[in-house]
Structure formats: C-alpha cells, structure tokens
Amino acid sequence: MNNAQLLEMSKKQSRTGKWELILHNDQTVSFDHVMQCLVEICGHNEYQANQCALLTHHNGKCSVFIDNYKTCKTVWDRLAENGLTVTPQKRKRNV
C-alpha cells in the first residue's frame, strides 16, 4: 500500500463509529428558531428540543444528534443552513 492509500484508509476509519453534533450558543438565533430546527431537522419532540435549547443557552453547548458520520453530516449541513452554530465530533463512547 502506498502513502496515499494509507491516508485515505485512515480518513475513512476516523469517520467510522458514532458521531455527535454539538449545538453552540449564540446571541443571533432565537430560542424558538432553535427549537423548531431541532424538531424539524433532528427529529426531537418539543420537550427534547426545549431541554436542548435550555442546556445550550445555560452551558454554551449541547449534544443534539448522534449517528454515523454520513447522517450527521447531512443534519449538520441542514442546521447550518438554518443559521445554527453546530460542530461535529466523534463520540468518545459508543452507547
């Protein structure tokens, strides 16, 4: 195997397993808009969306979605298109 193949293989491996999307607090997006996005895009019910929005507001961030990398990337893009500040991170534990 050459270096390019090893690099590509390591990139694919780093995207395996569970990933999560972390919602970050910002002062520009309304609480209601955040809740609406979590319901419509992440599939939260209203209670879950409210709790995540509150945690994000008070703690600065909250994990709002967990899945494989490909699915998280799709959800991440949609949340970002709706003005939310979200970052992906690989889960430290697969629970």
Rg (CA), the chain: 15
- Write down the pLDDT at residue 16: 80
Residue 2 resides in a domain: no
Residue 13 resides in a domain: no
Neighbouring C-beta atoms of residue 37, cutoff 10 Å: 24
Count how many domains the chain has. 1
- Write down the pLDDT at residue 10: 43
Q: Give the rounded distance of the alpha carbon of 54 from its chain centre.
A: 16
Q: Domain range holding 77?
A: 19-90
- Write down the pLDDT at residue 45: 98
> What is the average per-residue pLDDT within 68-87?
97
Higher pLDDT, 14 or 51: 51
| Residue 65 DSSP SS3 | strand
- Write down the pLDDT at residue 12: 54
Residue 12 resides in a domain: no
| Cα-based angle 68, 70, 76 (whole degrees, multiple of 5) | 95
Residue 23 resides in a domain: yes
Residue 31 resides in a domain: yes
Residue 26 resides in a domain: yes
Cα atoms found within 13 Å of the Cα of residue 38, Cβ hemisphere only: 30
**For the domain that residue 37 is a member of, what is the CATH number?**
3.30.1390.10
Q: Are 25 and 60 in contact (CB under 8 A)?
A: yes
Q: What gap in Å lies between CA 5 and CA 74, rounded to an integer?
A: 26
